[in-house]
Amino acid sequence: MSYSLAQLQSILGGEIRGNGDKPLCGVAALAEAEAGQLSFAVGAKNLAAAAACRAGGLIVNPALAGQLDRDLLVVANPHAAFARAAALFHPEPPLRAGIHPAAAVDPSASVAADAEVGAHAVIGARSRIGAGSRIGAGCVVGDDVEIGRACRLFGNVTLYPGCRLGDRVTLHSGSVIGSDGFGLAWEGDAWIKVPQVGRVVIGDDVEIGANTTVDRGALNDTVIETGVKIDNLVQIAHNCHIGAHTAIAGCAGIAGSARIGQRCLIGGAAMIVGHIDICDGVTVSGGSFISKSIRQPGVYTSTQLQMPHEEWLKNAAQSRHLAEMRERIRALEKKLQDKE
């Protein structure tokens, strides 16, 4: 598969600088790119690397283009254009329509004629698989599940009964969608399980990473809106609502009934407590602990900088006396005011 910069321009837009006719046969990072490959660069910090790299073509922004004597495709957003170019050089494998002989499909299920169901996959009763969707080997699709068009479930994905997937949803291996939420009621000297009777409803163009879990709602549905991107090893508890085009990085944990707005960025290992609201346009830094609702867009951080362990122990010991110190300071301030 090869494309010239001119061919890429016809697909991606932008402006050609230099020779646009040389064939390019792949993509690579600046430092590793060879003469027949395409790379990209953004910002002054990458100027030296872009000038020195061996790539046969570069995608750059206008600010960088004037400083480079290279064969360039100049676009407003090089990162996005490079992502689209990379997809052209590495297209999805062709769809193999049909149901593998080793798959188990309930007679009441509906599988589109051009959908693909891999070996040892299980499709439950009354479930529907949309046109052009791929169900990977070993996947388990429970009863009454709806999967839209052009979805892709990699191997060993589990969809519990009643889940709904929109169009072009990607679920990576080991993800579990619709498992029971952690609903318990204390009675006497034991826990009683609260039945989890809601669903998980996922919009269009959502991608969920490997070994991520999304719990079904207790009564209402857990909702993942259109365009949400979720990394590996993320836990989303029951009744959460994740707004459109929000991105959640790996190892984040979101407790039950939290509502996260649209176009939010949740950093890796962030912890968000349940029953709070986060408005649109919020960035939560990696490792932060969010315990209260956020009403204004912006960047929020709650981490403590690393320090030697002995220093941390001293600071932790002092923190236990903060309330006492506050009262002493107030008392001293009052004495000073009385003297005045």
Concerning whether 100 is annotated as a catalytic residue, the answer is no
Bridge partners (DSSP) listed for residue 242: 224, 260
Q: Would you say 205 and 226 are in contact if contact means Cβ atoms under 8 Å apart? A: yes
Residue 246's contacts (CB-CB under 8 Å, 6 or more residues apart) are: 225, 228, 229, 260, 261, 262, 263, 264, 265, 266
Question: What value, to the nearest 5°, has the Cα angle with vertex 69 and ends 64 and 74?
Answer: 45
Report helix, strand or coil for 282.
strand
Residue type present at position 98: G
Of 90, 100, 172, 238, which one is the catalytic site residue? Answer: 238
Strands ordered across the beta sheet of 134-135: 98-99, 116-117, 134-135, 152-153, 170-171, 207-208, 229-230, 247-248, 265-266, 282-284, 298-300
Dihedral class, residue 178 (left if φ above 0, else alpha if ψ from -120 to 50, else beta) = left
Kindly state the helix (H) or strand (E) to which residue 89 belongs, with its residue range.
helix 78-89
Q: Would you say 92 and 108 are in contact if contact means Cβ atoms under 8 Å apart? A: no
Q: Would you say 209 and 232 are in contact if contact means Cβ atoms under 8 Å apart? A: yes
* Residues annotated as part of the active site: 238
